Amino acid sequence: MSGALWISAAELSGDMHGALLAQALTALDPSLTLLGTGGPHLRAAGLRCLFAAEDLSVMGIVEVVNRLPRILRMLSAMKVALAQHRPRALIVIDAPDFHFRLIKAARALNIPVYYYISPKVWAWRPGRVLFLRRHVRRLISILPFEQEFYRNFGLEIDYVGNPVVDLVRYPSLAHLLPEPNLIGLFPGSRRREITSLLPVFGRTARLLLRRLPDLVFACVRAPGLDDALLRANWPDDVPVRWENPENRWRFMRRCRLLIAASGTVTLESAVAGVPTLVAYKVSPLSFRIGKAMIRIPYVSLPNLILGREVFPELLQDACNEESLAGAALPWLAPQEDSSFSDGVRRDLDEIRRRLGEPGSPGRAAALILEDLAQPG
């Protein structure tokens, strides 16, 4: 077995968090070699990228099925590469439907597995806890409510805090004041998200401009995404600014309101202290299957952390321009008193408090390296 650590991130958010973990690992042990699967952030952090996360990132049950042959070919090639390189450990990041298969291959090779950003089995298929207990050496959580869930199944996990705190760095943003008319748009990082959501965001902007003509809309491009895809899915008659992803948290903080695809970005916006409308669409069949299987009342992490709706969620049939514009207006229209906005700020302050102090990637890296140093 080599001295290398294999890190596997199968989507953009995992790539971002994996990059912070990779930096923390090499800071603790500069002699480490890191290889595996990642995207632009992990590559920049020094990962020898044998497989591209961009080739795996897809959302929705039907959408995954359509890409399944390609995904299975990549998985087969990864199993071969694991056997060739025999890393000291496998570190997988979220994405359980893909990573469970890779974990089985690693365990067959007697490679220990660390699961960073524990899978959301509390949302659906809780029986997968048994798989985790059998195959994963340490399970590392970044969400404060997960410890109790896993403990109910007799499984202890390590909660290290949330790396979004390190990414967003709220203390460096707190002094920034929102521009009264700036609306930020975050339509996601996957092609299917862009084609499903961005036209709806454009029509929403058109409706809002009729009521509030001084509004300014700016859309943030996800890292590695082609501008042409964004422009092709935005209506020509609606003015928009295109923003690069660098310093996007400073941009968030300058916004009066965000409209965003459900995902990690909604937790980033909560930490940045910006009111956000959460939107999402998948194929009708994927939505029906998911609704029947998912056991949680909300899809966005800020709402799950507080156990109530902080950010309005407009999903599937409710993800249309009339509903989005209707939900946006109370956030944008002048309020008779400050209780509405003050209440939102208090909620977002509470989310930051629950996520813990900065340094979670370093705590996770130290846990992994200390555990690997133990005999057996």
Strand order in the sheet with 113-116: 48-52, 34-38, 5-9, 89-93, 113-116, 138-141, 158-159
Q: What is the pLDDT of residue 285?
A: 63
| End-to-end Cα, the chain, rounded Å | 14
Could you please state the CATH topology (level 3) that the domain comprising 173-355 is classified under.
Rossmann fold (3.40.50)
Same fold, 5-163+359-372 and 173-355: yes
Q: What is the pLDDT of residue 340?
A: 58
Residue type, 136: V
Q: What is the pLDDT of residue 63?
A: 46
CATH number of 5-163+359-372: 3.40.50.2000
- Residue by residue, pLDDT tens for the chain (376 residues) are 467 999 999 888 899 899 999 999 999 999 999 999 999 999 999 999 999 988 775 444 444 555 678 888 889 999 999 999 999 999 999 888 889 999 999 999 999 999 999 888 766 667 788 899 999 999 999 998 888 888 888 888 999 999 999 999 999 999 999 999 999 999 998 888 999 999 999 999 999 999 999 999 999 998 778 889 999 999 999 999 999 888 899 999 999 999 999 988 999 999 999 999 999 987 666 666 556 556 677 889 999 999 999 999 999 899 999 999 999 998 887 655 455 567 888 999 999 999 989 999 999 999 999 999 987 5
Q: Parse the chain into domains and list their residue ranges.
A: 5-163+359-372, 173-355
Question: What is the CB-side half-sphere exposure of residue 285 using CA atoms within 13 A?
Answer: 6
Q: What is the pLDDT of residue 354?
A: 92
Q: What is the pLDDT of residue 69?
A: 81
Question: What is the CB-side half-sphere exposure of residue 374 using CA atoms within 13 A?
Answer: 9
